[in-house]
Chains A and B, each alone.
Chain A
């Protein structure tokens, strides 16, 4: 391996594509768009893939689709997926691997980087190549109060990119990428993850609203909703957004735990964040401050969230939210 970064162009960039109901997730299309600026894009899918999904990956820039079977539940655990990707890095000579920045993906990214000698960047909000071909990333850190630009000095890079960081635009002249099927057994050989047994795996029903981690608009309810999330849900629906909650709201049992936004819950970076009855405590901030536009509605003028909100309303969320939702629906109906 050379000490400098590889040149752009012919470089293969592997993109780990996650699916829901047989369709690539929105975050995967964003990864493909980001990968196009880095080199030749190869998509990697675990499990089954439909013709429609392959065409969609082609529409967003993939020129090849690698499909690896998942023979057992254990085969989708991060150590096993890392081993699969390491095998594919070896086979394709890829210089860069992109994954969506979720907890399990960050784990597999780290193991992949360790196995391949790559530099690792997680929670990246942008990725491109520097003038010398090195992978250059941007991260928001310390509750998005600082922006770090860094470069990967190793010859290979593994980058976990946050949802909504990149606009997922289709390519002008898509091709139907060839599907290359790999034998999982050879790729999984000797993975320590296989010593872990999946006793139970229960998918949680996904709501009809957009996925919280990927949504462009998120409306969050905090202590101020006092158990009643209906105005929060109604405003989210008016905007086609997802519903989130603070730790207090989930601990009180007002809404399910997986809606918790924060450093220990879901990290979000939507185009629009609306916090209703949210004080803006530091742990919540760490999970949402990378949002592009922050709106706060709170009846406490001293709430810390007003210190960093772009648009703040001191007022009762139970009157402000319904009024806003009705007006938004009226404006949207006008077109």
Chain B
């Protein structure tokens, strides 16, 4: 089976993260990385193709350094990589990103077929967990998101997922779009062989023109929301740190009472 995994390059979570004056995520600071949650998606795809046969293509959208994300996918064991890169994409919201990814998946489908699209559950930088839904809508495919367990048999994908108040098992005929949670698997670390192989694998670069996308529909031009203001959380000056001297529980209760937090 042929699986496409959508991955995203995100600022390192451990690093300080901030916004530029025009309200965009500042990507100039520190190293980026493949979104940790996307590693679960790559792992799920690799496990499926290892048992059922087939190939995995990792796809990303973004500026030059986003290539690191697909590179990591190749190191883990994916066979092919696509990087959609175009200056007009800058400033895209999730709708623009979904439009571009959907076009790339459509092209991959036309070139050799796509049976399954897998994404992580969210992008850790913006937590826009809605991308898989938008892809499914664009591609007119069934969606089975937030898989804690994922299996494929007889051209049907089966997903178990735990929502806030309910556990569900869903089945969808292939081709389909699924997303996996961090419960789905334990992503592998790239081994030496994988790292060497990834070096030799070319990353296919596509522009918007290659995908037949009008630049006016993505980037800042296509965005439906606009940042007015980005402000860092103020450091609270009245923070209290005490060491238990035998009465810390009483002081905690008093603090809650003072702040009308006794419930």
Contact = CB atoms under 8 A, between A and B. Distances in A.
Interface of A: 20, 77-79, 102-104, 106-111, 113-115, 117-123, 136, 140-142, 144-154, 192-193, 195-204, 206, 211, 213, 216-217, 238-241, 257-258, 263-264, 266, 271-272, 282-283, 286, 293, 295, 297, 301, 306, 309-316, 319-328, 331-332
Contact of A332 (B170, B182, B262): B262
B95 to A, nearest CB: 7
B168 A203 contact: no
A145 B133 contact: no
A24 B126 CA distance: 30
B58 interface: no
Contacts of B19: 146, 148
Contacts of B128: 122
Contact of B122 (A238, A263, A271, A322): A263
Contacts of A272: 256, 261, 263
Contacts of A153: 223-226
Interface in B206-262: 223-233, 236, 238-244, 247-257, 259, 261-262
Interface stretch (B139-147, B188-196, B197-205): B139-147
A220 to B, nearest CB: 15
Interface of B: 13-14, 17-19, 23, 37, 93-95, 98, 121-122, 124-130, 132-134, 136-138, 140-146, 158, 162-173, 181-183, 223-233, 236, 238-244, 247-257, 259, 261-263
Counting chain B CB atoms within 10 Å of each CB, the highest count among A115, A271, A311 belongs to: A311
Q: Which 4 A-B pairs have the closest CB atoms?
A: A323-B249, A315-B244, A110-B130, A119-B224
B76 to A, nearest CB: 19
Contacts of A148: 19, 23, 227, 229-230
B73 to A, nearest CB: 20
B262 A239 contact: yes
B170 A196 contact: yes
A262 B126 CA distance: 14
B143 A204 contact: no
Given A122-B130, A151-B225, A310 B236 contact: yes
Nearest to B246: A319
A331 B158 CA distance: 52
Given A196-B143, A257-B183, A324-B253, A314 B243 contact: yes
